[in-house]
């Protein structure tokens, strides 16, 4: 079987709960949204024979993989990728916009809802139920009312990430919000300062 994957590479997780960990990133192709500040080229794929993917994944022993996109939960090969990585002993995290059900064999799920859909910030019930972390990108026109239905006391992680191209203004808005809502945290895209992919 050939897996349709946009890119596979070794790097460090730059944001969220697992920031700073060495990681195998598996970027799945395509997305159902078009966020204007998206920094990812995901609208293409390469065909990876399963044995070559396994060989590449075995090259390091960090044991931590991140499946991302695009939007990984909308792609038919995401379950196969997760199954292979789990069989190799990986702890698997994923980041999703939350609009689709979560595939099996994912250990840590970051749901990052977006405004750029017909139903802004919508989250599929399965994704909401299974999320370990919710992370919102705060941009110029972000409406903090989108956060009102979250219960930050439920044991999950709640993060706000400043839009990188408007860092100063976004951070100022986040600072003010967290002063009154301390259940939320700041999540910075540290990989951009480290200059890693």
Instruction: Say if residue 153's pLDDT is above 80.
Output: yes
* 2-194 CATH fold: TIM Barrel (3.20.20)
The one-character DSSP state at 61 is -
Q: Is the pLDDT of residue 162 over 80?
A: yes
For 25, other C-beta atoms within 10 Å of its C-beta total 17
* pLDDT reading at 20 higher than 80: yes
d(CA 167, CA 182): 20
Q: Write the DSSP string, 108-164.
A: EEEE---S-SSSTT---HHHHHH-SEEEEEE-TT--GGGGTT--TTSSSEEEEEE-G
State the pTM of this model.
0.91
Q: Where are the domains of the chain?
A: 2-194
Q: What is the pLDDT of residue 185?
A: 95
CB hemisphere CA count around 179 (13 angstroms): 6
12 φ/ψ angles, rounded to the nearest 5 degrees: -120, 140
The model's pLDDT over 95-132, given as tens digits with 9 standing for 90+, comes to: 999 999 999 999 999 999 998 888 889 999 999 999 99
pLDDT level of residue 195 (50, 70, 90 thresholds): low
The total of other beta-carbon atoms located within 10 Å of residue 74's CB is: 18
pLDDT at 16: 84
Confidence of residue 13 (pLDDT cuts 50, 70, 90): confident
Arithmetic mean of pLDDT, 164-169: 84
* 176: nearest Cα among 142, 133, 135: 142
> Whole-angstrom Cα distance, residue 36 to residue 24?
26
Q: Has residue 33 got a pLDDT over 70?
A: yes
Query: What is the tens place of the pLDDT at every residue in 35-92?
Result: 776 767 777 899 999 999 999 999 978 999 999 988 999 999 999 999 999 999 999 9
At 4 the pLDDT is: 95
* Beta bridge partner(s), residue 158: 134
């Amino acid at each position: 079987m050939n897996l349709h994957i946009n890119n596979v590479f070794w790097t460090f997780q730059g944001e969220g709960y697992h920031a700073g960990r060495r990681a195998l990133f598996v970027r799945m192709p395509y997305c159902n949204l078009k966020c204007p500040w998206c920094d990812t080229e995901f609208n293409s794929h390469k065909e990876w024979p399963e044995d070559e993917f396994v060989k590449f994944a075995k090259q390091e022993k960090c044991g931590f993989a991140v499946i991302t996109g695009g939007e990984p939960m909308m792609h038919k090969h995401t379950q196969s990728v997760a199954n292979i990585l789990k069989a190799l002993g990986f702890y698997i995290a994923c980041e999703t916009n939350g609009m689709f059900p979560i595939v099996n064999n994912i250990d840590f799920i970051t749901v990052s809802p977006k405004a750029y859909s017909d139903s802004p910030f919508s989250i599929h019930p399965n994704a909401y139920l299974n999320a370990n972390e919710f992370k919102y990108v705060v941009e110029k026109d972000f409406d903090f009312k989108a956060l009102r239905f979250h219960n930050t006391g439920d044991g999950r992680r709640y993060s706000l990430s400043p839009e990188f191209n408007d860092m100063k203004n976004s951070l100022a808005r986040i600072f003010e919000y967290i002063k009154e809502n301390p259940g939320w945290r700041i999540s910075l895209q540290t990989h951009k300062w480290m200059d890693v992919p």
